[in-house]
Amino acid sequence: MRRIITHPIFNVEKTKTVRFFFEGRELEAFEGETIAAALVANGIDVFGMTEQSRPRGFYCAIGKCSSCLMIVDDVPNVRSCITLVKEGMKVKRQIGRGEITW
């Protein structure tokens, strides 16, 4: 488990849990956390693949580096590190450039 349960300095406050989907898998997250944080907490480090088939994770956590782009509710290129996870959200790995569905 990667969630910090106790900490010597700060209090770990429990917030409401929400359920979201990653590649069809139902996962648990806490309200107010980013998709990236929720995925890492669930042990998921690989967020997608680059155009040249390299696995991608996230790097900067502040929406700058583009390493964390994912398909969220069918929308590609979402910066998962600054987008908050929502109940029922569907998150998918993005392989290469995102596709637009219509």
Total residues in contact with other proteins, by rule CB under 8 A: 42
The binder of other proteins chosen from 18, 20, 56, 80 (CB under 8 A)? 56
Reading the block at residue 102, the tokens are: 């219509």
90-92 and 69-72 as β-strands: parallel, antiparallel, unpaired?
A: antiparallel
Contact call for residues 59 and 69 (beta carbons, < 8 A): no
The binder of other proteins chosen from 12, 16, 51, 101 (CB under 8 A)? 12
Q: Is 3 in the site for other proteins (CB under 8 A)?
A: yes
Q: Is 54 in the site for other proteins (CB under 8 A)?
A: yes
